[in-house]
Structures are given as structure tokens and as C-alpha cells.
Amino acid sequence: MLGTFQQSSLRIEVDAPEATIRKSLLHPHQVQRWLWPQQFSPGLPEQFRTGLTFTSAIGPVQIRHSVDVAESNCLRFLLSQGIDGFHEWYWGDGWVQSRLEGVSVLPLNLGQTVNLTQLRGFLLVQKQQENN
């Protein structure tokens, strides 16, 4: 694999209950609403489950994801192709934590920061819609 070993751990506060965060991370159709510009391969199930394998693309870069853990407050992907490593998510009431490690030519920390910012914005919109 070409690239540099990179690692990043970020934790943010979000104005959302654990159940809303869980739905936003464990349901592929929800994830696709906030994970722009990354696109998942078609035909994913309603919810990520351990053992599921799929691909995503960021422009011309393909990333293979194998779901290693999918639980009520944790999601872990083993990554290959465009990123060789892993990405794990943990969450609870009012917070989300993301840890990403791997070898890639992509700027992983920047991408992780953008993803968490997009997730926070998505959760804010979800809360506003619930309040209306």
C-alpha cells in the first residue's frame, strides 16, 4: 500500500440523544445523508451488521469496508484498498468519538474532521425537524 501511516482520534459533543446518534451511524441510508462526498456501493441492508462487506468511493479512490463490530454504541470497520487500517465509532448521549488508523495517500485527519462536522450538522437538522 502506498501512503503514510496516519492515526487520529476525535471526540465531539452533539446535541442529540444516543438513540438518534445510533440510527445516524448504524443505518447506511442515514449515513449516506451526511457522509458526502463518500458514496457506498448499492444494495446495502437496512443496518450495518458484523461480517458485512461493501465498498465506498471518494472520487476515484475505492475503499473496502468489512464490518468488524456493530453494536448499540460501537461500530468498527476494517478498511482496505484506498485505506489499509480501521475506523471505529463510539457514542453516547451528547457525544460521538471516532478513531481512524491506517496507511493511505488520503489526508485521513482532515476527512475525519469533515465527517464529524457533517454528522454534527445532520444531527442538528434532525433535532430541528423533531421539534417542528
- In this prediction, residue 1 has a pLDDT band, given cuts at 50, 70 and 90, of low
DSSP 29-70: HHHHHHSTT-EEPS---SS--TT-EEEEEETTEEEEEEEEEE
Tell me the per-residue pLDDT of 54-113, one tens digit each, with 9 for 90 and over: 999 998 999 999 999 999 999 999 999 999 999 999 999 999 999 999 999 999 999 999
Q: Domain-by-domain residue ranges, the chain?
A: 4-131
- In this prediction, residue 44 has a pLDDT band, given cuts at 50, 70 and 90, of very high
Provide the CATH topology of domain 4-131.
Answer: Alpha-D-Glucose-1,6-Bisphosphate; Chain A, domain 4 (3.30.530)
What average pLDDT does the structure give for the chain?
95
pLDDT at 120: 96
Average pLDDT for residues 15-36, to the nearest whole number? Answer: 95
